[in-house]
């Protein structure tokens, strides 16, 4: 299911669907710009509509057909009086910034499920909260469809593919790259923490040893020993858990305040993918680090999955 203006990210969904059903299966792509999920002042009127190009992209990616209904076909008689409510998760993050957005999204997804009757439906992980809500709706309302998440597709510079990227000027794009760089910085911070904890477990190191090395002039060894001691929890330093990962991302996003054009942060959140509530510093398990920001007149979102704990990355 797409809103059109198809790019390589959408094509990856279609290819994943084709691989899932095989040569003899039937793949349908939907193209519908859903007015119910656009709030007042959002970009419904200027949202790109490129149906002819979309048909070519869908065909080349492996779709058998494209269902591109009109607004009157999907909502005969105007806006529906009965809609689907997104519940508590729908009021967080994107839902807080865009009230009613997820109610409109779930309503059209439910209608398109009925109209196309899929056995499996494929959605990008770039819209992580949307994906979580669709999974919740399918589970809670007993839709007979398998929901498959497909990894985010990025350009060579790291920017997540989005139909709204075409709004970015060259200067906007330079600023927009801070979104993915912030997420990658957080991922790298988490990887470094895991490495230090592994060192601490294999070679215990006290903060006293670090101080001794420093007194001997071994600054680099002292710094390493101090980091290992902190990873072991013996130095009383700042967080080495989820809060430190958030801080690493925020430090990069802060650079955007001085960029031209500046980055205006909407939110940065490290959340439990089950309900999109913030995770505590000592959290273990799967999490999603999500960010939304304005660059000029364009609002972009991005996220990255992270795993905290012994098997984390």
| The two structure tokens encoding residue 40 | 């007042």
Q: Let me know: does 67 contact 23? Beta carbons within 8 Å.
A: no
Rounded to whole angstroms, how far apart are CA atoms 89 and 174? 32
The DSSP annotation for the chain comes to -B-S---HHHHHHHHHHHHHH-TTS--EEEB---GGG--TTSSTTTS---HHHHHHHHHHHT-SEEE---HHHHSTTSS-SS----TGGGGSTHHHHSTTHHHHHHHHHHHHHHHH--SEEEEETTSHHHHHHHHHHHHHTT-S-EEEEEPPPB-TTSPBP-GGGGG--HHHHHHHHHHHHHHHHHHHHHHHHHHHHHHHHHS---HHHHHHHHHTT-HHHHHHHHHHHHHTT-S--S--SHHHHHHHHHHHHHHGGGSSSPEEEEEEEEE-TTT-PBPPTT--EEEEEEEEEEETTEEEEEEEEEEESTT--
Strand partners, 122: 148
Strand partners, 308: 285
Rounded to whole angstroms, how far apart are CA atoms 265 and 290? 12
Annotated active-site residue 20? The verdict is: no
Q: Let me know: does 246 contact 270? Beta carbons within 8 Å.
A: yes
Catalytic-labelled residue, pool 7, 10, 20, 226:
10
Active centre residues (catalytic): 10
């Amino acid at each position: 299911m797409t809103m059109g203006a198809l790019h390589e990210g959408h094509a990856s969904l279609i290819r994943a669907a084709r691989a899932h059903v095989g040569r003899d299966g039937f793949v349908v792509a939907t193209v519908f710009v859903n007015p119910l999920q656009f709030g007042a002042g959002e970009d419904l009127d200027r949202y790109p509509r490129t149906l002819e190009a979309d048909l070519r992209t869908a065909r080349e990616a492996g779709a058998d057909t494209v269902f591109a209904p009109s607004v009157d076909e999907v909502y005969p008689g105007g806006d529906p009086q009965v809609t689907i409510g997104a519940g508590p998760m729908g009021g967080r993050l994107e839902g807080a910034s865009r009230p009613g957005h997820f109610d409109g999204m779930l309503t059209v997804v439910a209608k398109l499920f009925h109209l196309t009757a899929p056995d499996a439906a494929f959605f990008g992980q770039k819209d992580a909260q949307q994906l979580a809500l669709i999974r919740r709706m399918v589970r809670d309302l007993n839709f007979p469809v398998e929901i498959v998440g497909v990894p985010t597709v990025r350009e060579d510079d790291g920017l997540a593919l989005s139909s709204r990227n075409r709004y970015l000027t060259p200067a906007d794009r330079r600023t927009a790259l801070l979104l993915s760089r912030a997420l990658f910085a957080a991922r790298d911070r988490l990887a470094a923490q895991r490495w230090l904890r592994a060192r601490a477990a294999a070679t215990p190191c006290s903060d006293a040893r670090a101080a001794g090395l420093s007194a001997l002039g071994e600054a680099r060894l002292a710094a390493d020993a101090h980091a290992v001691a902190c990873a072991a929890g013996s130095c009383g330093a700042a967080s080495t858990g989820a809060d430190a990962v958030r801080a690493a991302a925020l430090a990069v996003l802060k650079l955007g305040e001085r960029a031209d054009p500046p980055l205006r942060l909407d939110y940065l959140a490290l959340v439990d993918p089950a309900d999109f509530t913030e995770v505590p510093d000592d959290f273990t398990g799967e999490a999603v680090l999500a960010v939304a920001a304005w660059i000029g007149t364009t609002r972009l979102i991005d996220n990255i999955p992270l795993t905290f704990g012994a098997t984390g990355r």
